[in-house]
Amino acid sequence: MLLELRIRNFAIIDEVNLSFSKGFNVITGETGTGKSIILNAVHLLLGDRASEELIRSSEEEASIEALFDISGNREVMEKVKDKSAKVDHLEEENTYLVRRVISRSGRGKSFLNERLATLGTLSEIGEKLLSIYGQHEHQSLQRAETHLDILDECGGLVNLRKEYEEHFNRFVSLSGEIRRIREEKERGIREKELLDFQLREIEASRIQTGEEEALREERRILSHARKLMDFVNLSNELLYEG
């Protein structure tokens, strides 16, 4: 939401300070009083091409500055978290200051929260801050992704939606934690059952001290017995059949 607009040395305007409230705001006046100039200044602020002809006569530079409330603007709030957007501290204040200066020297400057920004960044942020509709223009009204935001704004539900999103995200986080704990518990139960089974198998085997060595000796004896049997069989064949 646009809160304040300040225009200085722009076209025929010396200095204008405008404040806006929630709801419907109207700027009225006779033809030629500068209403369209205000709109042109806003266009320039949001990234339109500048020209020194827009600077008030006898002045070296013009400036347009706007203060926005972004508490209900999800797209801009996400940009706030992006360091590439070159903005600071807006999570706390929920306000966003945009300023553009044009100079006869051609060295114009753009600022986002009093930090220098490129014109491309200014334009990118600007289209998320404000929509300007002329006759037969629709712009973001035709974008399905904006419909929910517009509906919530009209219904005064922005803060309620924000609160809901915070609670929902917390719910999702806690649900994931509960699921993880349950999975760990089930895994622990399965591991315990396996260990219990292995313990029962060991106990049922009644393994005695030195049993392994005794089994090796028995195997050695049986191996020799097999060799003896083979020798006896061979001897019988040679003696009685040979």
**Which spans in the chain are helix H?**
35-45, 74-80, 90-93, 119-129, 144-154, 158-205, 211-236
Distant-in-sequence, close-in-space partners of 204: CB < 8 Å, separation ≥ 6: none
pLDDT of residue 86: 45
Q: What are phi and psi of 194, to 5 degrees?
A: -65, -45
In 10 A of CB 34, how many CB atoms? 17
pLDDT in tens, 83-130: 444 445 444 467 878 888 888 887 888 888 888 888 888 888 877 777
Pairing of strands 61-69, 95-103: antiparallel
Domain spans of the chain, in order of start: 2-156, 158-207
Does residue 4 surpass a pLDDT of 80? yes
pLDDT of residue 80: 58
Which CATH architecture group holds 2-156? 3-Layer(aba) Sandwich (3.40)
Q: How far apart are CA 87 and CA 111, in angstroms?
A: 9
Would you state the structure tokens that stand for residue 205, as one six-digit string? 């085997």
pTM given for the model: 0.50
